[in-house]
A and B are shown apart, each in its own frame.
Chain A
Amino acid sequence: MKMIKYLKSLTLKELFKGMTVTGKYFFKRKFTIRYPEEKTPKSDRFRGLHALRRYENGEERCIACKLCEAVCPALAISIDSEMREDGSRRTTKYEIDLFKCIYCGFCEESCPVDSIVLTDIHEFHFESEGKNVLNKKQLLEIGDMREKEVAQCRENDAEYR
């Protein structure tokens, strides 16, 4: 038995075996995704940057019920509201601190009018202090910009909700 073991190690059998494995992997398909050019597919439920949506007639959806502010576990949302000339209640301030936000998506779930949503934008950064707080205007702009994608994602996901 010992002789066989010696012979095995002298012929370097196991070393060659190991090298065949790595040799095979040399030619196999690589798992790398070359990020900026290639991207992994995102789920319809992806929780990225926030946005405020509008109705199709251009009216903002948010009715300042402040459910999102109440449910937010990180206290990232702060809302002020006032009565508009036509008598409806609207926000005068809607701010989200992205440093506090944990992207849990509770705000979106709590919203009765599907106003606040989490888009699939995950590539964003801030260049100076204070830019991390998104105000109402910015949120509405993001919403206008991504309305089509956001609506599509909600529609795809609707039957599972």
Chain B
Amino acid sequence: MIIDQIWMIVWTLIKIVAIVLPLIIVVAYLTYAERRVIGFMQGRMGPNRVGLFGFKLWGLAQPFADTVKLLLKEIIFPANANKFLFLMAPVITLATAFAAWAVVPFSDGLVLADINAGLVYILAMTSLGVYGVIIAGWASNSKYALLGALRSAAQIVSYEIAMGFALVGVLIAAGSLNLSEIVQAQQGGFLNWFMLPLLPLFVIYFVSGVAETNRAPFDVAEGESEIVAGFHVEYSGAAFALFFLGEYANMIMISSLTAIMFLGGWYSPFGPESWIASINGLSWLAQPSILWFFMKTGFFLLLYLWFRATFPRYRYDQIMRLGWKIFIPITIAWIMVIAVVKVYKPEWIGA
């Protein structure tokens, strides 16, 4: 009895490590991909020097060099900073960013906690992340950090509403809060994905996600040219690394959630009855697989980087206008549409 319980705890811990370790590696390589992709789009090479054992390998060892550099650096405490909160803030950011991954279904049944209120849990976790930002800004005892934290908090709170409304549309369409069931509701090919009936919500969800993670073009909270780096100006070394990790983990989170909610998670774009399933060597392409999930997530991550290379930063009032006066009305209107369709023409949205 007790041994069973201990084994369950150990097994869960093993599963957590199996999620967190690859996640950290993906974060590391996302930073590499970011510099590389943005470099390419600006007609440059990006990092291509750091390699292993004398081989350059297109600079693939760059993220590890960066990590070592960050971890070896000193953590500097600003004068009169609240030391406890100053150190707690990055931990909160990182913990909430990682905790949300517990309910993400990678493939059929491949999920750490298959809870029924998965979506609500994710919303709760991403909302808690704001505390890390606010506390970091306040505890640093710096004008820039405080300004950045205020902007960041206001932005995250505003876009959470549009995001929540966009997800309400998904809930109506799928009829469940469980992420696995939401994916299962999109079974069977490209045409069954929620992307098509929920197109406005899909776009709004992803754009709000970009704003929520404080990424370009919604990065006034970081605003290098005006407030240096926003809420984490005063952070250095390992503490900064945690913020960095949290931000990128959140980016991957938003990307994978978009893939799950709107692009049918692990399902193949070719349905099981499509022409490609009948071709001998290619029938695996029609099978649901974790690779589809990774590809969809990767696509949205690429979009993140693409946005950053393309768009100039929004002005602060424009960000607020977009969030409150455009996204929220559109989402509310489309929720009505979806509700009506769900009642009178349920076959239009998914199964």
Measured CB to CB, the residues of A under 8 A from B are: 12, 15, 18-19, 21-23, 25-28, 30-32, 34
Measured CB to CB, the residues of B under 8 A from A are: 37, 40-45, 48, 203, 306-307, 309-311
User: How far is B38's CA from A25's CA once the two chains are assembled, in angstroms?
Assistant: 10
Main secondary structure of the interface of B (DSSP, over half): helix
Which of A15, A18, A26, A34 contacts B40 (CB under 8 A)?
A26
User: How far is B45's CA from A25's CA once the two chains are assembled, in angstroms?
Assistant: 12
CB atoms of A21 and B44 under 8 A apart = no
CB atoms of A30 and B306 under 8 A apart = no
CB atoms of A12 and B44 under 8 A apart = no
Which of A22, A27, A32 contacts B310 (CB under 8 A)?
A22
CB atoms of A25 and B306 under 8 A apart = no
CB atoms of B306 and A22 under 8 A apart = yes
User: How far is the CB of A17 from the nearest CB of chain B, in Å?
Assistant: 10
Tell me which residues across on chain A come within 8 A of B44, comparing CB atoms. Answer: 30-32
Tell me which residues across on chain A come within 8 A of B310, comparing CB atoms. Answer: 15, 18-19, 21-22
User: How far is B306's CA from A12's CA once the two chains are assembled, in angstroms?
Assistant: 15
Knowing that A22-B306, A32-B45 touch, tell me 8 more A-B residue pairs with CB under 8 angstroms: A15-B310, A18-B310, A21-B310, A22-B309, A26-B41, A30-B44, A30-B45, A32-B44
User: How far is B314's CA from A15's CA once the two chains are assembled, in angstroms?
Assistant: 13
CB atoms of B41 and A31 under 8 A apart = no
Which of B42, B48, B203, B307 contacts A25 (CB under 8 A)?
B42
User: How far is B307's CA from A32's CA once the two chains are assembled, in angstroms?
Assistant: 23
Tell me which residues across on chain A come within 8 A of B45, comparing CB atoms. Answer: 30, 32, 34
CB atoms of B41 and A30 under 8 A apart = no
Residue among A15, A23, A26, A31 facing the most chain B CB atoms (10 A cut-off): A26
